[in-house]
Each structure stands twice: as structure tokens, then as C-alpha cells.
Structure 1
Amino acid sequence: MTDEHPHRPRLAPLPEDGWDPSARELLAPIPRDADGRLPHVFTTLVRHPGLFRHFLPFGTHLLRHGRLAGRTRELLILRTARNTRAAYEWGRHVPLARAAGVTDEEIRRVGAGPDAPGWTPADALLLRAADELHREARLSAATWSALAADHDEAQLIEITMLVGQYHMVAFFLNSAGTPLEPGFTTEALPAATGTADDDA
């Protein structure tokens, strides 16, 4: 997988003094960061207000109202960010993963993949699921069966949709060159080892 990313945004975040009434309406419900600004992913996506209006409820549901435990959700997202080399996605979700109970040592280990020593079988299974969806666009029979032992039907659906959602967002972020906000830049994406393709 190429590591090439634009050095400057191809689509710059829309500055607040450039928001029209529609943008202000769409961005109003989104929580601001500690510096009072909105995350760049939203102020860039709002350049397509019609799409943004429908995208936001789905993403918000998965992130805040989904059926998966927070730790499960964030491990899947971090591994997906790692697999897609989405530095913005990684940087924004490391603090969320910590808040959901993922330790700093586990966050570092996400880059090494599901076969790295130290994972519980349940956590390794989640990373393997993210890798299979990234590599094959489907879960293997063995992984589906193992997940089904601890997750109901709605959660199984949500696992696949969550990984798919964050692939889609990564495609946008990487292609648009969306810059990570300064307060998050210390959360470096793991080095290019232990990728889903390497684990195959």
C-alpha cells in the first residue's frame, strides 16, 4: 500500500467565516474541540452539504448509539485506520480508545496485528475481523462463527458496517489530505509493519 499523502489539503477545511447558513445549521450539533474549533473532517465534508446531512446521522449512530462496547468499537476503528494508513482517523481515535479502556500499550500493539503476543483471544479476534474485511471484503466462516459466540445478530451486522464506514471515511481523508488538528499530532500512526496484507 502506498504511503503517499498530499502535503497540503486538496480540499481545505471550510473556515468558520466562510460558513453559509446551511453549513452553520449542519455543523451546529457537532461538539467542538478544547480550542473551540470543529474537527477538520466535518468542516471539509460540509463542502458537500447534501451528502453531509445524510452521512452525519449514520456515523453518529455507530459512534455514540451503537450496540458494540466502546472498547470493541475503538479496536476495530484503530485497526482499520492502521490498515488504511489514515493518520487523521488514527489521531482522532486514540483518545477515544483510551477513554473506552484501551491501554497505551495495547494502542501501540494494534499496529502489530492480531498475532502479536499479549492480546486476549477476544481482542485478537476483533483485529482479525478488521483485517479480513480490509483484505477480502468479507469475514471468513471461522471468524464469523467465533464472533457469533459472543455477539448477537445486530452486533455482527454492526461490526461489518463499522469497519466499512471507517474505510469510507479513510478513503475521503487520505484523498482530500485532511490535516490532523495540532492537539492530536502526537498520536503517530504505527510504522508500516504488521499490515493486514503482511498478516495474510
Structure 2
Amino acid sequence: MPLPHSSDPRVAPVEDPEPEVADLLAKTMSDDDGVPLSIFRTMARHPRMMKRFNVLGGFFLTRGDLPARERELCILRTAYRSGSEYEWAQHVLIGRDAGLTDDEIERVALGGDWPEADAALLRLTDEVLDHTDVSDTTWWELAEHYTDAQLCELVLLVGFYRMTAGFLNAAGVVKEDSLPSWPATGG
């Protein structure tokens, strides 16, 4: 879980970017007013890194082989387990668009019964976070539903979003006011 900070943000988001950085930010997700999200304006402090981060993040969100609903299930579990309210909030919205119900989103954090395939996805996420590995039982159960490429993607997806949660927490990125919060008894 995140450590307490004396202030957040620790790294202030870029407010008046140079033209090259503004071009990079124009290619990122933005809020309803067209303002790039805080995560990207914070990462813009290191434009070369942000550019490469966006390539891999964009792959997972738009070009990967995983179904969107299953991808978001794993991302939400990673965000919750990593204590990243910012990542959680963004992916609640993306998860809804991908077909997750509000009840499913809440159960990602607070627990509950899942169909076998979803339970295996959540177990893979927990195992990667806890052990940087996946048990044979979980792997072979998921192999009945996913290709080798998708299994590889699942593991890297969890790692990527764990890394992102670490950045968001350590930099103290403040979530936009319009984003949802943790579930009522979560966080």
C-alpha cells in the first residue's frame, strides 16, 4: 500500500508545455474539457519516457489480444492491490465501457464469487503481484481459455499496471475530481 506523503503531488503536472511536449500530450487521453489527464501531464516531466510508456500502454488498451472485459478485470485488481486510487478510478470508467458491471467492479476490490474463468484471471493477477510467478494450476486452467500469446500478455499486463501504480503512488499524482473513488469499504 502507498506510504504517506507530506504533500501530493510530489511531481507537479506540466501546465504550460513546450510545443514538442504539447504534441505528445495531444496524443494522450484527456478529460471532458480536453485537458490531458494528470498521469500524462506528470509523466511529461520526462517526455522520452512518456512517449515509450504510451506505446506500451496503448498496445495493452487498443492493440492487445485480450478481450477488453478480462483485461480490465486484471487491471482493476492490480490497481486495488497496489493501492493506486488514480489507476483504479480511470479503469472503473474504462472497465464499464468494456462491459464490467458496477457489481463486478466492486467485487474486484471487496471479494465475492466469480465464474471459474474470471476467478482464474484474478488469481493470476494476485499470483503475479505476490510471487512474480503463476502457479501451474492457474496457468493450465487459463490455458483452456487463452492462447499462449494471451497468457504472455496477461502476465505483462499485470506487471505494466503494477509499475504504473508505483509511479502514480510515488509521484503523488492527484486524480481528477470527476473520477470515481474507491468502493465504499475499499481502498
Tell me the TM-score normalised to structure 2 length. Answer: 0.94
Taking the aligned partners of 1:104 and 1:161, their CA distance within structure 2 comes to 26
Question: The residue matched to 2:178 in structure 1 has which SS?
Answer: helix
Taking the aligned partners of 1:96 and 1:89, their CA distance within structure 2 comes to 11
Q: Does 1:158 align with 2:156?
A: no
State percent identity of aligned pairs: 41
Shift of 1:13: 0.9
Whether the 8 Å contact between 1:6 and 1:177 is mirrored in structure 2 is no
Shift of 1:2: 5.1
Q: Does 1:174 align with 2:172?
A: no
The count of corresponding residues between Structure 1 and Structure 2 is 187
Q: Does the C-alpha gap of structure 1 residues 35 and 159 become closer, same or farther in structure 2, counting only changes over 3 Å?
A: same
Taking the aligned partners of 1:95 and 1:28, their CA distance within structure 2 comes to 20
Tell me the TM-score normalised to structure 1 length. Answer: 0.88
Runs of 4+ in 1 over 6 A off after TM superposition: none
Q: In the alignment, residue 52 of structure 1 is paired with which amino acid?
A: M
Match of 2:124 in 1: 129
1:111 to 109, 112, 125: 109
Whether the 8 Å contact between 1:84 and 1:167 is mirrored in structure 2 is yes
Match of 1:13 in 2: 13
Q: Which moved more, 1:26-35 or 1:122-131?
A: 26-35
Q: Does 1:187 align with 2:181?
A: yes
Which runs of 5 or more structure 1 residues have no equivalent in the other structure? 194-200
Matches within 5 A, 1:7-46: 7-15=7-15, 18-46=16-44
Please report the RMSD computed on the Cα atoms of aligned residues, expressed in angstroms: 1.6
